[in-house]
Structure 1
Amino acid sequence: MEQIKLKGVAASGLAKAIELLPKETLSSIDAINRLNHSYAIYIAPYNLRATQRKFVKRRFHIAIMLLISMFVQAQDFKNISNPDEAIQQASILAAKSNNSQLLNSQNFTDENLFAVRFIPVGMSPSEYNKLDSEKQNKYLTVVYKTFDNTFSFNYITGTYDVVFDVWKNYVSNTATKDNNDKQYIDKEKRIVYLLSEDNDERWKITRQLL
């Protein structure tokens, strides 16, 4: 193979390039190190902060939901002043059952009672109306006593699973389905709550003053 010989400017330029190669290589390595350093200082912390922000945001949402839950648990059976609030309160109780949807509300003036009824998700009002009263009564119903535009929680009825969820979440949070904890006394508020079997398919939580 014929050898190419460089002379003059070309030869000196190549020699200069070879001489500068180690220095430029070190400069390139240094640049990469500075880039990594910049990433460590700026980009990585930014990504970390973004992850931390997402985590904090998620924890904040959880905390808010817990606070709301605590607030509801503390306020759930307090007297309220209008039918809309009664329906809202009853809906919060029913929300513990993922299979419940609002059907209607009804005012029984002669008995001073206001009832809020729920049916299983997927059931239409017409399907509900075709059922006999015994089957209708097994679905979740929240009943209030009414007096001088005040609505006071009286009792709730429904299947055992649904009623027990309300009992555990809003009355006795230490209750289990295996124990016989069917009574809870709030001495401070002088109120007693009773969990009892109404019939074969329906259970009931009753609120009474001591």
Structure 2
Amino acid sequence: MPESRVLRRAADRFHTVADGTETFHSFSYGRHYDPDNIGFGPVIAINEERIAAGAGYDEHHHADAEIVTWVLDGVLDHEDSTGHGGQVRPGVAQRLSAGAGVTHAERNASDVAALRFVQMMVRSTNEDEPEYAQATVPAGPGVHETVPVHADARLVVARPGPDAPVELEVEHAALLHVTRGPLSVDGTVLDPGDALHVAGPTRLGLTGRNGEALVWLIPHSRG
């Protein structure tokens, strides 16, 4: 398969505003629908959530998805029907495997400071009981593993440093979502909220002083 790259800018994302919450959707989600942008491989949602102090989402249901959360600013209060609850802070990747069905609630842990996080959903291979997992991701430059998922994909955090470019080997496809920037991918400058969809085997070179990207590496076409 020949290599192809599609750049989607942050300003082109769908936008939802509700009481105390604001969401930027990288793919079709809820009432926002674009038949040409419903997902990439097994990745079906990337939502940047901005939650006002004291606000959040009450208990709601998911099934058949891996839900991965990465906090950018603030502290997230999480509670779900697997019995897990607590706070998620920057530097921790959280995964809720919905399995046959799970409910969870997510709220801003602070009554004074805003919360911002990225929540991603991937088609799951887990058809059994829901599962919870989280992992602390190393700080600093490099390509860092996050938390395992029941899916045909693997999530890493890529951070180039001032004098430390990083390389990503793409076996089949990759999706880069920039969380901090700017950063450059083979000379193309990406800002926060921008996404790059890469299809075909290749190697990506990332540079940037303080850039960070969440990268889904997709090993093959299944899923």
Bigger strand fraction: 2
Specify the TM-score bucket, using the shorter chain as the normaliser: under 0.3
More relative contact order, 1 or 2 (CA 8 Å, 6+ apart):
2
TM-score, structure 1 normalization: 0.21
Bigger helix fraction: 1
TM-score, structure 2 normalization: 0.21
